[in-house]
Structure 1
Amino acid sequence: MVDSVTVAGIDCGTNSIRLKISRVDADGMHDIVPRILRVVRLGQDVDKTHRFADDALDRAYAAAAEFAGVLSRHHVDGLRFVATSATRDAQNRDTFEDGIESILGVRPEVIPGTEEADLSFLGATSVVSRGELQPPYLVVDLGGGSTELVLGGDGVTAPATQVQAAFSMNIGSVRMTERHLRHDPPTEEEIAEAIADVDEHIDEAFRTVPAGKARTIIGVSGTVTTMSALVLGLKEYDHRRVDGARFAMKDAYEIDDRFLRMTRDERRQYKTIHPGRIDVVGGGAIVWSRVLAKVSQAAAEDHGGVLDSYVASEHGLLDGIVLDYGRRLLAARR
């Protein structure tokens, strides 16, 4: 009987592409190659043109070729390549899929927002110790093109790690920046337009996801972890300081607002921010602040609770892809 498999997962989003190789067994994931991230901005102008730009495709192909080199040095039982928001929206996605398949030998799976939400929740909650955080958990996966809200069970009537409701919103750091924040720094009118756009999407999501029932917010993705590192005042990004740490919402609001109103040159002085996020971190900050504020308000209205903090996590969609794929391969081989 096979008791473990070695699998690789690739998560290709609107702003970045990530690779992870892990051994998966009954106890979970054991990293062989921890996350490798490259910012390729595949979703460049997709919100406006509904097509991948040639230079964006070239950047994605270059990253895929690099990943192929890494994979050649490891025996893996399977590779799953998942593409999300930008690829869902691109009319020429076949060109992208053909190019990736020629480089890596697997065709990208363009998953719907609902599956993206489920996998993000699986990844985020896979490292939550029992009793460490109070359920229900609301996982917020804030990407470049979309943001997923996923609510789990209460741990009594339904397992805390079981998804109860999910919704994928077409708002993210890249999409909001390209759609609204056209000046450097953005004008107050542009910021107001972006907030109104984000709020409309959140209100729609709340009709599907009863976010007010949440007792713990878990934020995943580069925007959340970057802004959290800035709250800590880190001079350089340190995942060990950020992963699993709890942050007060009031501190997040202050940092989000300050960096939203900075020029790009001012942001470049902060090594905490990945160079590939310099121009879009403001758009992500708006989404993050509005989600926190709206969930906090909903919690007060739903159960009179005070929800004034969140937990940042390095574990999200990519972890969910690897863990889910590994478990399915294990089940098939038993």
Structure 2
Amino acid sequence: MMENFAVIDLGSNSVRMTISKVGGDGTYQTMTQMKEYVRLSENMGVEKILQPDAIERTIKALREFKEVYSKLDNLKIKAVATAAVRQAANQKQFLKKVKSEIGIDLNVISGSQEAYYDYVGVSETLPATNGVIIDTGGASAEIILVQNGKVSNLISIPIGSVTLSSKFDLSNEVSAAELFKAVIFVNKIYSNVWWLRNGLNLPIIGLGGSNRTLAKINRRFNNLLDTDDIHGYQLRNSDVNDTFQRIISKNLEERKEVPGISKDRADIIVGGLIPVILLMNFLDSDRITFSTSGLREGILFERLHEIIKENVKDMSEEELL
């Protein structure tokens, strides 16, 4: 019997939903994809408190998602929340509000779970035998070192597009001093991740909204058709650095006009690209491959494996009867 499997991923910047029709043999077809920019981590401050406006925007988006999935039969929902909710001092109250107003249990996953799902989503859809995966979100970045087709190390670091942009005032005019501070800050974090140097010279796989934007800017710049078709798209490190240089020389209004940057992301794109730019330099990596497959797809593949296992078990029980 076909199952409608909905994955909701509540990040710090956006909330996304993918609904797939899943067959008993582990095949699937993506039916619906929705995304809303909710900026949940906006103005959380050092107290790490989710703000009323951000909460309302999030509830509104979840309500719109519900209108879509509530029409489906044989529905299974897996809803996860990442860095913003993970760090929030008022996490319990927020989860309660979502439960009472929307009726879903939001599962707050750890940074390492998030990183692992990213790995599953990437490795099922791209050749990733040896490489370093980076998923830059709104409030965190997940980094996964893959060696010989297996995860050898992973980490979630609280450096994201929203957090870095606000900490170093990078949303409008980018001052040399603030950019320098941001670079020193992120490089220091990288230096403290002892295993990261094992990724020296390995190719990088980038996912998350900021990294996807980097790919889109380059596809538009090179007049490639179908800007959004970036899964497996590659860029040399020189192209990546040139793009970053073009972006940091612009103010907010000018960045909004750059083809490939959505207006909702123009104020956080500088902070959002710092982690990948510095990682490529830190590891002296010569290229980056982009993936549109990550956390949500990782959760979907996990479900597909479960279904296949259940069916194998049912078949072997039938044989016993």
Give the TM-score, by structure 2 length: 0.89
What is the match of residue 79 of structure 2?
A: 81
Distance 2:73 2:233 in 1: 34
What is the match of residue 122 of structure 1?
A: 120
User: Post-superposition shift, 1:81?
Assistant: 0.8
How big is each residue's C-alpha offset from its partner over 1:209-240, in whole Å with a ceiling of 9 and x where there is no partner? 45426743211111011011112235899454
What is the match of residue 242 of structure 1?
A: 230
Preserved CA contact (<8 Å) 2:26 2:304:
no
What is the match of residue 306 of structure 2?
A: 328
What is the match of residue 280 of structure 1?
A: 268
Distance 1:149 1:211 in 2: 13
Preserved CA contact (<8 Å) 1:167 1:209:
no
Corresponding residue SS for 2:105 = coil
Distance 2:106 2:282 in 1: 34
User: Post-superposition shift, 1:271?
Assistant: 4.6
Matched letter for residue 221 of structure 1: G
Corresponding residue SS for 1:139 = strand
Structure 1 residues 239, 269: closer, same or farther in 2, change over 3 A? closer
The yes-or-no answer on 1:99 pairing with 2:78 is: no
What is the match of residue 146 of structure 2?
A: 152
What is the match of residue 319 of structure 2?
A: none
5+ residue gaps in structure 2? 315-321
The yes-or-no answer on 1:310 pairing with 2:288 is: yes
Matched letter for residue 292 of structure 1: M
Structure 1 residues 236, 276: closer, same or farther in 2, change over 3 A? farther
Matched letter for residue 178 of structure 1: S
The yes-or-no answer on 1:229 pairing with 2:199 is: no
Corresponding residue SS for 1:18 = strand
Structure 1 residues 50, 69: closer, same or farther in 2, change over 3 A? same
Structure 1 residues 180, 76: closer, same or farther in 2, change over 3 A? farther
Aligned residues: 310
User: Post-superposition shift, 1:48?
Assistant: 2.8
How big is each residue's C-alpha offset from its partner over 1:114-139, in whole Å with a ceiling of 9 and x where there is no partner? 000000111112112xxxx4621321
Matched letter for residue 325 of structure 1: R
How big is each residue's C-alpha offset from its partner over 1:123-161, in whole Å with a ceiling of 9 and x where there is no partner? 112112xxxx4621321111111111112231xxxxx2x
Corresponding residue SS for 1:46 = coil
Distance 1:39 1:141 in 2: 17
Preserved CA contact (<8 Å) 2:197 2:283:
no
Distance 1:182 1:48 in 2: 18
Preserved CA contact (<8 Å) 2:122 2:128:
no
The yes-or-no answer on 1:140 pairing with 2:134 is: yes
Distance 1:91 1:281 in 2: 26
Preserved CA contact (<8 Å) 1:83 1:108:
yes
Distance 1:87 1:19 in 2: 17
What is the match of residue 299 of structure 1?
A: none
Corresponding residue SS for 2:152 = strand
Distance 1:239 1:163 in 2: 31
Deviates more, 1:269-278 or 1:189-198: 269-278
5+ residue gaps in structure 1? 155-159, 297-306
How big is each residue's C-alpha offset from its partner over 1:252-285, in whole Å with a ceiling of 9 and x where there is no partner? 1111122123111001113522222111001012
Structure 1 residues 228, 183: closer, same or farther in 2, change over 3 A? closer
Q: 1:270 aligns with which of 238, 248, 258?
A: 258
Q: Spell out the pairing of 1:176-255 with structure 2 (5 A cutoff).
A: 176-181=164-169, 184-205=172-193, 207-209=194-196, 211-212=198-199, 215-234=202-221, 238=226, 240-255=228-243
How big is each residue's C-alpha offset from its partner over 1:33-81, in whole Å with a ceiling of 9 and x where there is no partner? 1x31111000012253310010000110010000001102322431111
Matched letter for residue 152 of structure 1: V
Structure (1 or 2) with the larger CA radius of gyration: 2
Matched letter for residue 35 of structure 2: L
Paired-residue identity, %: 25
Give the TM-score, by structure 1 length: 0.86
Corresponding residue SS for 2:46 = helix
What is the match of residue 297 of structure 2?
A: 319
Distance 1:288 1:111 in 2: 23
